[in-house]
Amino acid sequence: MLSIHRCTPAPSGVIALPRRSCLAQRIRAALVVGLLLVASGCQEAPVAKIPAPVRDRQATVLTPEQVGFLKIEEVGGGGDAPSAAVPGRVAYRPQALSSLGAPFSGRITSVTVRPGERVRAGAPLVVLQSADASAARSQLEQATARASAAEDQLRRQTDMMARGVGLEVERVEAEARAKEARAELERSRRAIAFAGGGQGSEVILRAPAAGVVVSVRASAGAIAEPGGEPLVELADPGRVWVVAEVPEPEVARIAAGQQARVRVPAIDATLEGVVDGIGSAVDATSRRLPVYIALKVPPARLTPGMLSEVQFAGSRDGLSVPVSAVLIKDGHRRVVYLQRADGKFEVREVRTGRSSGGRVAILEGLSAGERIVVKGALLLDGEAELLL
């Protein structure tokens, strides 16, 4: 408490000078008052502090004041970000390819098509001369004659039995010979069916369906053998798909029926597709798995072998959260803080996928509709670290 002494005034009619002690007292008082005023003006405003959370055995309890420092949202799939682009290529579907080989040993006499040419069904592709084909046609003629004679013999024996002059044993024998002849005729027909028409030793390979000639390995004068490499390969240009090479860690977030977007720089086009299938073996060198994408509307300019970039619509279960919601515990565990129905907060371990656009896919650990802390989670766990 500051005390200021008053100076006694001089008697009336007497001129008095100020006393030194009284003047000094007034100066000291003024200085003290000034210092107090300066100190009060420079005093800093009080800083709001977040009270430390109270923890019980299973959850963390916060006061309404503490909850105000957090941002809480429901888990949902609407904001799931697409995956990062992975490389891919355009390819023919297996059902779109047809391979034609030599049905008989022979020498190629002519090749009537070239790679890239469009052909109609039944069009001649390769012609060759084959002694085996000539022998097969002769066997077919002989089998036809034997079958005709056996059928005539069976009719005669049946007619004689009807008139009562034939023997049952002869009719049974005739029926057996007719069955054998029919079987031999059928085998001969199947053997020559691949000759594709022609006469004698000539064999014509024809297109089984309309398509584009992919490759030609036949050349005039060469010898062709059954079981060798295909002489001509055809493909249906409308039956193509995209094969994406997906890194092994990302395969878990992809499933059949998932939407995908394909960018093909060669034709400057972005195409919509859907996952048609997933490969069963990971490449030992690249550690990638093929994922097959069926295009909804493949353009006519799309050619197998073109390179592409593929983005998948989202994770398999369609759940994602902001990256700020996920914390790292013990250097490797991914956790989030879940707000329970009673208002308490509990830690939940999750398995995350790829992060993109400020969000991260949740593969396991959460369900749609659950409420989690998406901002301020570090206030609940000072020992954890942010995911990103």
pLDDT class of 82 with cuts at 50, 70, 90: low
> Cβ contacts of residue 106 below 8 Å, gap of 6+?
128, 129, 130, 131, 132, 133, 201, 203, 223, 224
Q: Quick check: is 8 in a domain?
A: no
Question: Which domain-ending residue is among 195, 211, 234?
Answer: 234
Q: Are strands 240-247 and 345-356 parallel, antiparallel or unpaired?
A: unpaired
Question: Into how many domains does the chain fold?
Answer: 3
CA–CA separation, 192 and 190 (whole Å): 6
Q: Are residues 227 and 103 in the same domain?
A: yes
Q: Are residues 120 and 201 in the same domain?
A: yes
Average pLDDT over residues 184-195: 81
Q: Are residues 153 and 220 in the same domain?
A: yes
Question: Is the pLDDT confidence value at 87 over 70?
Answer: yes
Q: What is the pLDDT of residue 309?
A: 92
> Cβ contacts of residue 30 below 8 Å, gap of 6+?
none
Task: Look up the domain containing 279 and give its range.
Answer: 86-93+239-312
CA–CA separation, 128 and 102 (whole Å): 9
Question: Which domain-ending residue is among 173, 208, 234?
Answer: 234
For residues 92 and 243, the answer to whether their CB atoms sit within 8 Å is no
Express each pLDDT in 118-166 by its tens digit: 999 989 999 999 888 888 888 888 989 999 999 999 999 898 888 888 7
CA–CA separation, 73 and 370 (whole Å): 8
Question: 277: which strand partners?
Answer: 292
Q: Are residues 335 and 381 in the same domain?
A: yes
Q: Are residues 218 and 327 in the same domain?
A: no
Express each pLDDT in 196-239 by its tens digit: 666 788 888 999 888 899 999 999 999 999 888 899 999 988 88
Question: Is the pLDDT confidence value at 250 over 90?
Answer: no
Question: Which domain-ending residue is among 312, 333, 367?
Answer: 312
Could you tell me the CATH number of the domain that includes residue 368? Answer: 2.40.420.20
Q: Are residues 123 and 218 in the same domain?
A: yes
Could you tell me the CATH number of the domain that includes residue 294? Answer: 2.40.30.170
Cα torsion 286, 291, 297, 298 to 10°: value is: 40
Residue with tokens 């490499």: 229
Q: Are residues 160 and 246 in the same domain?
A: no
Phi and psi at residue 107, in whole multiples of 5°?
A: -105, 135
DSSP, collapsed to helix, strand or coil, labels residue 360 as: strand
Q: Are residues 280 and 331 in the same domain?
A: no
Q: What is the pLDDT of residue 320?
A: 80
Which range (14-28, 191-205, 324-338) has the least confidence? Answer: 14-28
Q: Are residues 131 and 260 in the same domain?
A: no
pLDDT class of 357 with cuts at 50, 70, 90: low
Amino acid at 47: V
Express each pLDDT in 20-31 by its tens digit: 444 444 544 444
Q: Are residues 275 and 152 in the same domain?
A: no
Q: Quick check: is 306 in a domain?
A: yes
Reported pTM: 0.51
Question: Is the pLDDT confidence value at 293 over 90?
Answer: yes
Q: Are residues 120 and 213 in the same domain?
A: yes
Q: Are residues 145 and 229 in the same domain?
A: yes
Please provide the DSSP assignment of 153-170 as one string: HHHHHHHHHHHT-S-HHH
Work out the end-to-end distance of the chain between its first and last CA atoms, rounded to an integer number of angstroms: 57
Express each pLDDT in 45-80 by its tens digit: 444 444 545 454 456 777 777 777 788 888 875 444
